[in-house]
Amino acid sequence: MLKAVLVIACLALCANLWATENGKRPQNVSGGNSNPNPDSDAGPEARLARILDEIDKNRLGAALEEADALIRRYPNFRLAHLIKGDLLLARSRPISTFGNAANAPPEQLADLREEAVARLKAYRDKSSAARYVPRYLLQMRPDQRHAIVVDTDKARLYLYRNDGGRPRFVADYYITHGKLGSEKIRQGDRKTPVGVYRVTASLPADSLDRFYGSGAFPLNYPNEWDKRQGRDGDGIWLHGTPPDTYSRPPRASDGCVILANSDLVALSRNLQLGVTPVIISNSIEWLSYDDWQSERDAMSEKIEEWRSDWESRDYDRFIRHYARDFKAGSASARYFAQLKNRRALAAESIKVTLGNRQMFRNPGKEQMVVVSFDLDFRSNSLSSQTRKSQYWIREDGTWKIIYEGNA
Partner 1 sequence: MRPIFAKPLTAGFPALALGLLAGFHLSVAGANTGSDALSDIQDMVKNGQLPNALEKVDSYIAAKPKHAKDAQARFLKGVILGEMGRPADAIAVYGKLTQDYPGLPEPYNNLAVLYAQQKQYDKARVALEMAIKTHPSYSVAHENLGDIYAQLASQSYDKALQRDSGSTGSQSRLAPIRQLGGAAVRTEPAASANVAPSSQPPKIAVAETARRIPEARTTPPAQANPVAAESSAGDGEFARMLQHWKSAWPRLDFTTALAYSISDLTCRIMRERIGPPGLSAGSANTMGGPGATGCRSEPRKSRFW
Comparison of 218 and 249: residue with beta carbon closer to partner 1: 249
Comparison of 175 and 370: residue with beta carbon closer to partner 1: 175
What burial class does residue 349 get, using C-beta atoms within 10 Å of its C-beta: 0-12 exposed, 13-18 middle, 19+ buried? Answer: exposed
Least distance from partner 1 to the Cβ atom of residue 47, Å = 14
Residue ranges in contact with partner 1 by CB under 8 A: 3-4, 6-7, 10-11, 14-15, 17-18, 21, 52, 55-56, 58, 60, 78-79, 81-82, 84-105, 108, 110, 112-113, 116-117, 120-121, 124-125, 244-245
Torsion of CA 26, 32, 38, 44, to 10 degrees: 50
Comparison of 59 and 186: residue with beta carbon closer to partner 1: 59
Which pairs from 342-346 meet CB under 8 Å and 24+ separation? 342/315, 345/313, 345/314, 345/315, 345/318, 346/313, 346/315
- Write down the H helix ranges in 204-288: 224-228, 261-268
Q: What is the CA radius of gyration of the chain?
A: 25
Comparison of 31 and 274: residue with beta carbon closer to partner 1: 31
Least distance from partner 1 to the Cβ atom of residue 214, Å = 20
Tell me the pairing of strands 251-253 and 166-178.
parallel
Least distance from partner 1 to the Cβ atom of residue 24, Å = 14
Least distance from partner 1 to the Cβ atom of residue 126, Å = 13
Least distance from partner 1 to the Cβ atom of residue 80, Å = 8
CB burial string 353-363: b at 16+ within 10 A, e below = ebeebbbbbbb
Comparison of 56 and 295: residue with beta carbon closer to partner 1: 56
Three-class SS of 269-326? CCCCCCCCEEEEECCCCEECHHHHHHHHHHHHHHHHHHHHHHHHCCHHHHHCCEEEEE
Least distance from partner 1 to the Cβ atom of residue 94, Å = 4
Comparison of 124 and 161: residue with beta carbon closer to partner 1: 124
Q: What is the DSSP string of 90-128?
A: TTTS---SS---TT--HHHHHHHHHHHHHHHHHHHTHHH
Least distance from partner 1 to the Cβ atom of residue 286, Å = 13
Least distance from partner 1 to the Cβ atom of residue 154, Å = 10
Comparison of 17 and 337: residue with beta carbon closer to partner 1: 17
Q: What is the DSSP string of 150-161?
A: EETTTTEEEEEE
Least distance from partner 1 to the Cβ atom of residue 58, Å = 7
Question: What is the DSSP secondary structure assignment for residue 363, as one 8-state letter?
Answer: P
Taking alpha carbons only, the member of 284, 293, 295 closest to residue 125 is 284
Alpha carbons 397 and 269: distance in angstroms, whole number: 42
Alpha carbons 70 and 234: distance in angstroms, whole number: 36
